[in-house]
Amino acid sequence: MPEHDWAGRWREGKIGFHEGKPNPFLERHVGVLGSKRRVLVPLCGKAEDLAFLAAQGHRVVGVEYVEQAAIAFFEEHGVKPSRAAGARFPTYSAGDVTIVVGDFYAVTRADVGEVDAFYDRAALIAVEPESRDRYVAAVRALVPPGSPGLLVTFDYPPGVEGPPHSVPQPEVRRLYGKDTLEVLSEAPGFNPRVAAAVGGGTDRAYRIVLKAST
């Protein structure tokens, strides 16, 4: 879905993709990210996962296209964020959570700072299928080799248009096959509204350790 369509969904309150609580797979498998990391969360929205990661001792940097979503995260947690002066993109911070507002493909390491882990619950399933290679390349540009990651995907029967888009196991292996990749667990779709809209589906969690590009 183009970025302006995402912005429209936020303006209209059409955010059924927002879970409103930490993702169950994140709660179960957060340990794969290690201890006291600086975790990149692409296309983060106002996910409760940000606060959960911070509560586990991580520093968190989300990247979100829609400024309204970033501001809403801090408002809903009762904190007033600071805004970085002179940043190339609007950058809001409070406690251990920072959200950079901008096009994920345009953000650089200079914008997000050094990270050493990543968590993807709503990004890969949101980008258009033809943009997946570009998306993974952008992740690699921000996250150094050797960094652990936790990826959560949604796999559903063919013939249904996303987003969220179905990302079956073979596609994940195509995208991350040269990295360390392990299926951690799977379960029926955790978000009942999304699962009902696409006629059921399977959520799947993967552990990833990025390897250097060759």
Q: Is the pLDDT of residue 109 over 50?
A: yes
First to last CA, the chain: 30
Q: Which listed CATH number (1.10.540.10, 3.40.50.1400, 2.120.10.10, 3.40.50.150) goes with 3-10+21-209?
A: 3.40.50.150
CA atoms of 183 and 111, how far apart (whole Å): 31
Q: Which residue has the tokens 């993967």?
A: 206
More confident site: 162 or 171: 171
Taking the model in full, what pTM does it have?
Answer: 0.90
pLDDT digits (tens, 9 = 90+) for 49-94: 999 999 999 999 999 999 999 999 999 999 999 999 999 999 999 9
* Nearest residue to 17 via CA among 156, 182, 162, 212: 162
What does the alpha-carbon distance between residue 27 and residue 201 come to, in Å, rounded to a whole number?
Answer: 20
Q: Model confidence over 33-43: pLDDT tens digits?
A: 999 999 999 99
Query: Which of 156, 69, 81, 146 lies closest to 115 in space, CA to CA?
Result: 146
Residue 24 has pLDDT above 90, yes or no: yes
Max CA separation in the chain (angstroms): 47
Hey, CA dihedral for 31, 53, 104, 25, is it positive or negative?
A: positive
